[in-house]
Amino acid sequence: MFVIVNVIGLIIFLAIAVLFSQNRRAINKVTVAKLFALNIFVGWFLTSFTIGREIIVVIADVFVAVIAIAHEGVAFALPNWVNVPQMNFITAALLPLLMIVPMFDILNYVGIMPFVIKWIGRALSFLTGAPKFESFYAVEMVVLGNPDVEAVSSEQLKKVSTRRCVTIAIMSMSCVSAAMIGAYTQMMPAEFILTAIPLNVVNALMFAHILFPVEVSPNEDDEIFAVKAGEKKLPFFNFLGNSILGAGRLVFIVTCMVIAFVSLAKLINAGLALINPALSLEMALGLVMFPFAWLLTPDKAEAFQLAEFMGTKLVTNEFVVMLQAQPLMENFSRHMQCVLTVFVTSFANLGTVGILLGTFNGIVDKDKNELISRNVKYMILSGILVSLMSAGIAGMFTR
């Protein structure tokens, strides 16, 4: 029953994308079919195949070890925040970013991350027929996240066509920063966090192509990747200092956002309770998202809980939902744990739309910004569909 409903869900998610496509005739059906097939294989390999499961376990163990080392650094400065029966959210999930963000920045500085991104992007383009820049960008966006991925690719974004820039903006809704994975794994099952990431890469490419298809000439990518000569790196310790300060700002920003969103949600609930004590923001969002949640988990009780989390995530952010769901996870079925975790593992929410519009405004010209602004609906729809499809594929193989 679960598998049949999940398969129907995947078909419906694809059908919604085709229905709302900006140009259905321009959709490359071969590329979409390859991306969908690759997605099914990735979902099966990481959830059901022994080697794939072992890879996920090893990577999860690495992140756990990195977080433990980061907590040793936190304990040196703030021992009474770490050496306690239960660390608070900031200590457990956010302060390790002061080590993790510079770690990834150093890998980028010495050229390791660009090398990995380059070859994974090339392989993805070769396997699926997707344009090279979009394939590279899809990999970059799950390593760097918003707004860093746009900043790193700013020269290419200035060169791409106006319509192609909209496709990139649509894909950007499904970003996940690698530096944040450690924080996520402190709150949700690491195996499902790590399964969501490659699924999001492929799904972002697929839905961007369906919703806003753009024809790319064979020589266009060669021109886009032409590199300017003479660019110099910052001295290493200057770069490292900037990275650490940037990580500190990130910790502060996420803390402020979580406090603000949770408080505003409570304020809205207090207002709704004046109308009817049974009303809440979570219930209203749950009613809207319930049909989609039921396609992911046919158990009605779990489906309504999932729908509430899904709606909350879209109007707030993934941290708010992870904090709410964390104490309940052990009561959920394994299938529910999977679809919930995979769905929330992305930056796809209304706040990200504002971040993207502001970021692109500072990089590309007026015409590109205006076209992106006129197509915000595709950005929001893509973010929702990518999360639904990734959760549906992972859930189909998880019982």
Contact 134, 207 (CB under 8 A): no
Contact 368, 380 (CB under 8 A): no
Residue-range definition of the domain harbouring residue 372: 2-226+233-396
Q: What is the pLDDT of residue 230?
A: 52
Between the alpha carbon of residue 201 and those of residues 41, 207, 225, the distances in Å are 13, 10, 21
- Within a 10 A sphere around the Cβ of 228, how many other Cβ atoms? 6
Contact 379, 207 (CB under 8 A): no
pLDDT tens profile 50-81: 888 788 778 778 877 888 898 899 999 999 98
Q: What is the pLDDT of residue 148?
A: 66
Among residues 294, 308, 312, the alpha carbon closest in space to that of 391 is found at 294
Q: What is the pLDDT of residue 1?
A: 67
> For residues 285 and 133, what is the distance between their CA atoms, to the nearest angstrom?
36
Q: What is the pLDDT of residue 338?
A: 93
- Residue 346, φ and ψ in degrees, nearest 5: -175, 170
Handedness of CA 284, 289, 291, 297 (dihedral sign): negative
Residues 6+ apart with CB under 8 A from 388: 9, 13, 292, 295, 296, 343
Between the alpha carbon of residue 96 and those of residues 153, 321, 385, the distances in Å are 27, 20, 31
Chain center to CA of 217: 29
pTM of the model: 0.83
Among residues 59, 17, 361, the alpha carbon closest in space to that of 181 is found at 59
Q: What is the pLDDT of residue 221?
A: 67
Structural domains in the chain (count): 1
Identity at 249, one-letter amino acid code: R
Chain center to CA of 348: 6
**Residue ranges of the chain with per-residue pLDDT less than 50:** 229
